[in-house]
């Protein structure tokens, strides 16, 4: 009877776990970065499962082989010396497993922090994703439009998100496209993503940021490039412009639906200047601006010096 109950419990547990897997968005990747992370998760799971099975098999073997037997009360087991071979195996296998998982983790970290594989030869679409209590603002400098609480992105194109916050630290996360990354008030962090297939994906703030955190979510609509351009044209024809006053209203704590504007708040409320993990193209752009500013400053000093000498 106990055996039947144990088997029934095991079967129920397996069915429950497998049913829950349907909601694991991280294991349903729709882009190269998410695929890399899903592969690492599965490698870790299978490695840990192997360790668990081996340990429990050895435990069962030891319990059966060295169980209490009907020996006399004065029985003394033979003295057994330690085995250097066995001790080396017991220490060496965990070390090998740790080295293996470390190599996999480091390689995957470098992969997800760079431009997605297969998209290295194209110019990425840059989107500034900034958070406030409790909403997300998405600015498209190239298209000169802005959305609130939803994203439109083209498939088969590298995406470069510039993340920062207008308030507390938040975390930008679209599980089916890639891992989460923090958005902070005093710096810009860069997240590289891409969508291989069209679809609607779920995004959210993955870092607790107050009482409205639970509903600090957004939708991501991945569409073919031609459909993305049609959406951009439609926004420019129908949406109202974003103004500084309107933007300050949006920053007030609270929840909002999906909004669309022409222009971006970057014109009057630029992102923080300090960058972390910026792309080469962005760094070159910043360097070009700084170089021009430096030349203008030198020209201004020369003019002042000339005027002073003339006087």
Q: What are the tens digits of pLDDT across the range 57-101?
A: 999 998 888 787 777 778 787 787 788 888 898 899 999 999 999
Among residues 310, 71, 32, the alpha carbon closest in space to that of 159 is found at 32
Q: pLDDT tens for residues 124-145?
A: 999 999 999 999 999 999 999 9
Phi/psi for 108 (5° steps) reads -70, -35
Sheet holding 188-193, edge to edge: 240-241, 259-262, 145-148, 135-140, 125-132, 159-165, 188-193, 275-276
Task: State how far the Cα of 95 lies from the Cα of 97, in Å rounded to an integer.
Answer: 5
Give yes or no for residue 286 having a pLDDT over 50.
no
Give yes or no for residue 37 having a pLDDT over 90.
yes
As a whole-number percent, the residues of the chain with pLDDT over 70 amount to 81
Give yes or no for residue 49 having a pLDDT over 80.
yes
Contact 183, 164 (CB under 8 A): yes
Report the chain's C-alpha Rg in angstroms.
Answer: 29
Minimum mean pLDDT range among 6-15, 34-43, 218-227: 6-15
Q: In the prediction, which pLDDT does 77 show?
A: 74
Q: In the prediction, which pLDDT does 75 show?
A: 78
Give the three-state DSSP class for 14. Answer: helix
Give yes or no for residue 34 having a pLDDT over 50.
yes
Average pLDDT over residues 265-288: 66
Q: In the prediction, which pLDDT does 285 show?
A: 40
Q: In the prediction, which pLDDT does 66 show?
A: 78
Give yes or no for residue 10 having a pLDDT over 70.
no
Q: Assign 293 a pLDDT band (cuts: 50, 70, 90).
A: very low
Average pLDDT over residues 232-253: 96
Contacts of 29 (CB under 8 A, 6+ apart): 35, 37, 38, 176, 177
Q: In the prediction, which pLDDT does 135 show?
A: 95
* Mean pLDDT for the chain overall: 84
Q: pLDDT tens for residues 151-197?
A: 999 999 999 999 999 999 999 999 999 999 999 999 999 999 999 99
Q: If you count them, how many residues does the chain have?
A: 311
**Does 297 or 185 have the greater pLDDT score?**
185
Q: In the prediction, which pLDDT does 6 show?
A: 55
Task: State how far the Cα of 14 lies from the Cα of 129, in Å rounded to an integer.
Answer: 40
């Amino acid at each position: 009877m106990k055996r039947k109950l144990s088997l029934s419990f095991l079967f129920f547990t397996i069915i429950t776990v497998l049913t829950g897997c349907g909601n694991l968005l991280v294991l349903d990747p729709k882009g190269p970065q998410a695929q890399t992370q899903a592969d690492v998760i599965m490698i870790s799971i299978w490695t840990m499962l192997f360790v668990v099975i081996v340990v429990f098999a050895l435990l069962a073997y030891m319990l059966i082989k060295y169980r209490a037997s009907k020996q006399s009360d004065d029985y003394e087991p033979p003295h057994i010396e330690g085995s250097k071979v066995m001790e080396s195996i017991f220490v060496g296998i965990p070390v090998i497993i740790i080295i293996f998982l470390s190599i996999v983790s480091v390689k995957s970290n470098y992969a997800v922090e760079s431009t997605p594989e297969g998209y290295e030869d194209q110019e990425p679409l840059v989107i500034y994703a900034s958070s406030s209590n409790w909403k997300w603002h998405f600015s498209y400098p190239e298209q000169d439009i802005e959305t609130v609480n939803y994203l439109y992105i083209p498939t088969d194109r590298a995406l470069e998100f510039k993340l920062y916050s207008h308030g507390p630290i938040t975390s930008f996360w679209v599980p089916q496209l890639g891992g989460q990354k923090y958005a902070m008030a005093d710096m810009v962090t860069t997240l590289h993503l891409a969508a291989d297939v069209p679809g609607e994906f779920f995004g959210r703030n993955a870092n607790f940021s107050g009482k409205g955190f639970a509903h600090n979510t957004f939708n991501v609509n991945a569409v073919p490039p031609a459909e993305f351009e049609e959406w951009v044209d439609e926004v420019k024809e129908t949406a109202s412009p974003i103004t500084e006053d309107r933007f300050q209203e949006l920053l007030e704590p609270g929840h909002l639906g999906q909004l669309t504007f022409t222009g971006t708040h970057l014109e009057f409320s630029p992102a923080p200047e300090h960058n972390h993990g910026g792309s080469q193209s962005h760094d070159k752009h910043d360097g070009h601006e700084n170089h021009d500013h430096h030349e203008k400053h030198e020209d201004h000093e020369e003019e002042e010096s000339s005027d002073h000498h003339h006087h």
